[in-house]
Copies of this chain bind each other. A is one copy, B any other.
Amino acid sequence: MSHDQHAHFMREAIRLAQRNMDSLQGGPFGAVIVRDGKIISTGVNQVTSHNDPTAHAEVVAIRNACAQIGHWDLHACEIYTSCEPCPMCLGAIWWARLHRIWYAANQEQAAQAGFDDARFYDELALPAHARTISMHNILPEEGKLVLHAWQDKQDKIPY
């Protein structure tokens, strides 16, 4: 695809972000997922309107795309997002196997606008014990057994 085509898809993501903010549906974020040069899904931030802290634009676009194609694997697709993905969204993009990310604003600009993305990146880079959220390991042996059972399972559906 040409630069103009990439810019076209990104402008659509930014337009969705602006419209979402203007209509008070959520934060100023939008995303589109493209396959074979066509938009197959869109997403906007719905955290406050849907009471769902995971409903970031990228996550919503991924869920919509997967519903659209009937599979959880989007390796043939790329995502255009109005702002650099937060760690949650980057994780979702990996799990969905999207092969390329296009973003406009960056995490520092998101931080200036009052969002915590940059801080979460800093936290993730720390070892678990140094993070501000406390993490406790209990019943590790019992937890391990389930994973071992998965390894041995013959009829599992891998992903």
* Residues of chain A whose beta carbon lies under 8 Å from any beta carbon of chain B: 3, 6-7, 10-11, 14, 17-18, 21, 24, 26-28, 47-48, 51-54, 56, 59, 62-63, 66-67, 70-74, 82-84, 86-106, 109-110, 112-114, 116, 120-121, 123-125, 128, 133-140, 142-144, 146-151, 153, 155-159
Contact = CB atoms under 8 A, between A and B. Distances in A.
Contacts of A95: 47, 53-54, 56, 86, 88, 116
| Tally of this chain's copies | 2
Q: Which 8 A-B pairs have the closest CB atoms?
A: A104-B143, A88-B91, A105-B143, A113-B147, A87-B91, A53-B95, A28-B150, A53-B96
A75 B28 CA distance: 24
A102 B140 CA distance: 11
B146 A82 contact: yes
Contact of A62 (B53, B106, B142): B53
- The winner among A27, A74, A88, A140 for most chain B CB atoms within 10 A is A88
A90 B93 contact: no
Contact of A139 (B7, B74, B90, B142): B7
A7 B138 CA distance: 7
